[in-house]
Amino acid sequence: MQQRLKKNLEAARGWTIQLRRELHKIPELAQEEEKTAALVAKTLGELGFTPQTGVGKHGVVATLDTGRPGPVVMFRADMDALPIQEESGLPFASTHQGAAHCCGHDCHTAMLLGTAKVLSEAKDKLSGVVRFVFQPAEEAVSGARPMIAEGIMDSPKVDYCFGMHVWPAVPKGQVGIKSGDLMAAMSWFDLEIIGKGGHGAMPHLCVDALEVGTQVVSALQRITSRQMNPMQPTVVTIGEFHAGTAMNIIPDRAELHGTTRTFDKEVWRTWDKRLRSVIAGVCASMGADFKLEFHQGVPPVSNDPQATDIVRKAALTLLGADRIIEPEPTMGGEDMSLFLEQAKGAFVFLGAQMEDGFPLHNPKIVFPEDILATGVALNCQIAWDLLT
Ligand SMILES: [Zn+2]
Ligand SMILES: [Zn+2]
Given the residues 28, 33, 78, 138, select the one marked as catalytic.
138
- The predicted pLDDT at position 54 comes to 98
Ligand nearest to the CA of 301: 2
CB 312 within 8 A of CB 350: no
* Contact of 100 with 27, CB cutoff 8 Å: yes
Predicted pLDDT of residue 1: 67
Spacing, Cα 26 to ligand 2 middle (Å): 16
Among the bound ligands, the one closest to the CA of 78: 2
User: Residues 237-254: what's their mean pLDDT?
Assistant: 98
Cis peptide preceding 156, ω within 30 of 0: yes
Active site residue 293: no
pTM (predicted TM-score): 0.94
CA distance 276 to 118: 51
pLDDT of residue 4: 80
Q: How far is the CA of 104 from the centre of ligand 2 (A)?
A: 6
Closest ligand to C-alpha of residue 76 is 2
Mean pLDDT along residues 279-308 = 98
Rounded Cα distance, 143 and 299, in Å: 14
Q: What's the gap in Å between 245 CA and the centre of ligand 1?
A: 33
| pLDDT tens digits, one per residue of 88-118 | 999 999 999 999 999 999 999 999 999 999 9
* Ligand 1 center–CA 81 separation, angstroms: 8
| DSSP secondary structure letters along 284-342 | HHHT-EEEEEEEEEE--EEE-HHHHHHHHHHHHHHH-GGGEE-PPPBS---THHHHHHH
240 is catalytic: no
Domains of the chain: 3-181+300-387 (3.40.630.10), 185-298 (3.30.70.360)
Distance 96 CA to ligand 1 centre (A): 18
Residue 139 CA: which ligand is closest?
1
Q: Give the span between the Cα atoms of 114 and 11, in whole angstroms.
A: 10
What is d(CA 15, CA 47) in angstroms, rounded to the nearest whole number? 12
In whole angstroms, what is the distance from residue 142 CA to residue 188 CA? 13
The Å distance, Cα 139 to ligand 1 centre, comes to: 6
**C-alpha 1 to ligand 1 mean position (Å):** 33
Q: Which of 28, 32, 78, 80 is catalytic?
A: 80
- Surface-to-core class of residue 249, CB atoms within 10 Å of its CB (0-12 exposed, 13-18 middle, 19+ buried): middle
Counting ligands in written order, the one closest to the CA of 350 is: 2
Residue 2 has pLDDT above 80, yes or no: no
User: Across all residues in the chain, what is the average pLDDT?
Assistant: 97
Chain-centre distance for alpha carbon 291: 29
Which residues have CB atoms below 5 A from the ion given as ligand 2? 103
Share of the chain above pLDDT 70, in %: 100
Average pLDDT over residues 120-132: 97
Distance CA 159, CA 339 (A): 11
Q: Is the pLDDT of residue 233 over 90?
A: yes
What is the rounded distance in angstroms from the CA atom of residue 387 to the CA atom of residue 161?
Answer: 14
| Distance from Cα 103 to the centre of ligand 1, integer Å | 5
